[in-house]
Amino acid sequence: MKTDKKNPGDKFIFQDFKKLKVSFLTNLRNHESINYTITKASITQL
């Protein structure tokens, strides 16, 4: 199996972040502060 520069699991973790981001954006009115935190964390990971 090939190994990425970072851990091979990073790509899957990033996909999970994207799913969470979409989920929170869908419920933005109910999770605005949480969505902001998740989005900020995702940008930091990039």
Tokens representing 44 are 């930091």
Helix 32-45 vs helix 10-26: crossing angle, to nearest 10: 150
More confident residue, 45 or 23: 23
Mean per-residue pLDDT, 16-36? 73
pLDDT score recorded for residue 35 = 64
CB 38 within 8 A of CB 20: yes
pTM (2 d.p.)? 0.30
